[in-house]
């Protein structure tokens, strides 16, 4: 009996040791994933001399305490409500724009005075939602579906589930795909108010003004041209985020008389050669252009550079931060 008891004690000790080792490995694995995620988003950089990770934060521009909850005035029937608190990476003063990695799609996170707006759900909703979480955005004031492609709407469906935005802006189209209906059903399930956005719809995001500049018409032959294009003005600065539209729809917007001149241009379709034509570039005259796709067209990049534009790509620079103080935009690749 003594030998059996002694054997059980040994097995118990070995079991405890194995369990501890498994737990330690799991903890190390999670820590490694967090470090990799932070490095990808640019919050952590590796010191070239020592190889040690360093937090890439400017203390003068970040307040880790909770941003104050402010009341957003109601304009055009939209009240974005009070918004989330950011963890880091956001200037307390001015407007912060995070250009996230979104595969072939786009995901642009805008924060102003504690309110947040997501433009596009990206190709992979889990990837987008994970980046939002690392940015500290657990909930959103509003989100906008920028295109009717299944990949974009599939990504937004996941974002809706995890961030539960107060409002969802979407293009109203006769094309009602399976993903389109699933996305709207998901918005209803999580209590998000849905708004079919038309050209001219305007609302406030803190001190920023958000305006839907396109589409001019609905039910295009090419369903991509039904996608939304959105302009954001903050102080004397402006940014134009193009939906998944082609050059034909770009010419339509320019001729419609919508305000197109902007300091920053987020190119349509991630920088695909089917969009960002010379007519649009001439109307916007941007100082900064961002191409969010995995394979941006070199011809588009050259076109923008010849127009005197400084071009950034997610493929080359990764997640980027654009900051506006109301007078100028600066980019932190």
- Domain termination site, one of 54, 75, 91: 54
Alpha-carbon distance 113 to 123, whole Å? 28
One domain, residues 69 and 43 = no
One domain, residues 183 and 208 = yes
- CATH number at 237 reads 3.60.15.10
**Largest pairwise CA distance in the chain:** 94
For residue 61, pLDDT beyond 50: no
137 within 8 A of 169, measured Cβ to Cβ? no
Q: What is the pLDDT of residues 123-177, one digit of tens each?
A: 888 888 888 887 777 889 999 999 887 667 778 988 999 999 999 999 987 767 8
- Domain termination site, one of 14, 34, 54: 54
One domain, residues 94 and 163 = yes
One domain, residues 29 and 159 = no
Its domain, for residue 44, covers 2-54
pLDDT bin (cut points 50, 70, 90) of residue 190 is very high
One domain, residues 169 and 41 = no
Alpha-carbon distance 52 to 41, whole Å? 17
* pLDDT given at position 103: 77
Read off the tokens for 277: 């034509």
- Least-confidence region, from 23-32, 58-67, 198-207: 58-67
Read off the tokens for 143: 């989100």
Read off the tokens for 106: 């786009």
One domain, residues 6 and 133 = no
Alpha-carbon distance 80 to 98, whole Å? 19
One domain, residues 178 and 144 = yes
Strands 95-99, 108-112: pairing kind: antiparallel
269 within 8 A of 290, measured Cβ to Cβ? no
One domain, residues 40 and 175 = no
Q: How many domains does the chain have?
A: 2
One domain, residues 47 and 67 = no
């Amino acid at each position: 009996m003594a030998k059996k008891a002694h054997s059980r004690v040994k097995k118990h000790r070995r079991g405890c040791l194995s369990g501890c080792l498994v737990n330690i490995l799991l903890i190390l694995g999670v820590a490694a994933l967090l470090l990799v995620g932070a490095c990808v988003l640019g919050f952590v950089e590796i010191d070239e001399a020592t190889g040690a990770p360093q937090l890439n934060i400017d203390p003068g521009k970040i307040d880790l305490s909770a941003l104050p909850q402010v009341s957003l005035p109601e304009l055009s029937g939209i009240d974005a409500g009070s918004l989330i608190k950011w963890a880091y990476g956001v200037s307390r003063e001015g407007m912060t724009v995070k250009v996230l990695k979104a595969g072939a799609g786009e995901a642009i996170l805008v924060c102003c005075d504690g309110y947040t707006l997501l433009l596009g759900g990206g190709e992979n909703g889990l990837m987008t939602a994970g980046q939002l979480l690392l940015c500290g955005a657990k909930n959103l004031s509003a989100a906008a579906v920028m295109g009717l492609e299944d990949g974009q709407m599939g990504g937004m469906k996941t974002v809706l589930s995890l961030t539960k935005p107060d409002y969802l802006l979407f293009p109203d189209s006769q094309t009602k795909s399976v993903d389109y209906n699933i996305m709207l059903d998901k918005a209803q399930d999580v209590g998000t108010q849905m708004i079919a956005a038309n050209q001219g719809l305007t609302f406030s995001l803190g001190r920023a003004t958000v305006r839907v500049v396109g589409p001019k018409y609905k039910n295009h032959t090419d369903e991509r041209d039904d996608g939304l294009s959105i302009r954001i003005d903050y102080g004397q600065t402006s940014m134009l985020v193009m939906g998944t539209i082609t050059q034909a729809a770009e010419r339509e917007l320019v001729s419609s008389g919508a305000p197109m001149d902007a300091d920053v241009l987020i190119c349509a379709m991630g920088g695909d050669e089917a969009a960002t034509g010379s007519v649009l570039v001439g109307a916007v005259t941007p100082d900064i252009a961002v191409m969010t796709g995995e394979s941006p067209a070199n011809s588009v990049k050259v076109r923008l550079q010849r127009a005197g534009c400084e071009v950034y790509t997610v493929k080359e620079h990764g997640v980027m931060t654009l900051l506006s103080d109301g007078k100028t935009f600066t980019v932190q690749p």
